[in-house]
Amino acid sequence: MRLLVVEDEVKLASYLKRGLEADGHAVDIAGDGEEGLWLARNQSYDVIVLDIMLPKRNGFQVCADLRGESNWTPILMLTAKDGEFDIEEALDTGADDYLTKPFSFVVLSARIRAIARRGAPERPAVLEVDDLRLDPAAHTVERGGTEIKVTAKEFSLLEFLMRHSGEAVRKTNILNAVWDWDFEGDSNVVEVYIGYLRRKIDDPFDRASIETVRGVGYRLRVGR
Ligand code: CA
């Protein structure tokens, strides 16, 4: 799973990152609430582990902001010990579960698996990268509020790029994710479809958000 840990205590954060990575997860760390919010908005996570006492923006605010934006990524809040009100507020602002510090890593790991299983049932999170918006449930794509008609393949390709926005993704990874594992056609099909997408999501809007990364593949740029 892909996890975001928002925790300002450096030692605890790196301990969690090491442990969760040893469990096989991909883990991003944010050291304050604003960074956490930014990452949560721009990446797609299976679970967010969110401390309450954070610099810049506290965990309650981060959680409330995400829920206010219809981001239903499961959130596990970390509360201070004896924080009865913390727990109440955490659940009221839309957290899925909480864990009181200090906690055992084994319990944290189990809680993460449990809330991930429940998923984000309210509605699938809408993917947003800058003014580009893709709704997996409604199967719609918009740029700055203008609806863009795409084919099923173009949709899958765009969804993959958006889920990895800001990252350079290899053509082979795109091929494996968007076409079948056993796809035996030419990998040039990726280039062809990237071209189709550029003509739909970039050219009409005078943008160049799908970048070619030489020798690697492509990157959906974050920020103009
Ligand atoms: Ca803290």
| Ligand 1 centre distance from Cα of residue 222 (Å) | 28
Show pLDDT as tens, one digit a residue, over the chain (224 residues): 899 999 999 999 999 999 999 988 889 999 999 999 999 999 889 899 999 999 999 998 999 889 878 788 999 999 876 666 677 777 777 788 889 888 999 999 999 998 888 776 554 568 899 999 998 767 889 999 999 999 888 988 999 999 889 989 998 888 877 775 455 667 788 999 999 999 999 999 999 999 999 988 999 999 87
CATH code for the structural domain at 127-220: 1.10.10.10
Q: Can you tell me the distance from the alpha carbon of 203 to that of 224, in angstroms, rounded to the nearest whole number?
A: 14
Indicate where the chain has its CATH 1.10.10.10 domain(s): 127-220
Report, at the CATH architecture level, how domain 2-119 is classified: 3-Layer(aba) Sandwich (3.40)
> What pTM, to 2 d.p., does this model score?
0.54
Q: What does the radius of gyration of the chain's CA atoms come to, in whole angstroms? A: 19
Token digits for 178? 């968007």
| Ligand 1 centre distance from Cα of residue 55 (Å) | 8
| Ligand 1 centre distance from Cα of residue 53 (Å) | 4
| Ligand 1 centre distance from Cα of residue 123 (Å) | 30
Residue 123 has a pLDDT of 47
User: Biggest alpha carbon distance in the chain?
Assistant: 60
Collapsed DSSP state (helix, strand, coil) of residue 44: coil
Q: Can you tell me the distance from the alpha carbon of 129 to that of 164, in angstroms, rounded to the nearest whole number?
A: 10
Collapsed DSSP state (helix, strand, coil) of residue 216: coil
| Ligand 1 centre distance from Cα of residue 7 (Å) | 6
User: Residue 76's CB: how many other CB atoms inside 10 A?
Assistant: 22
Indicate where the chain has its CATH 3.40.50.2300 domain(s): 2-119
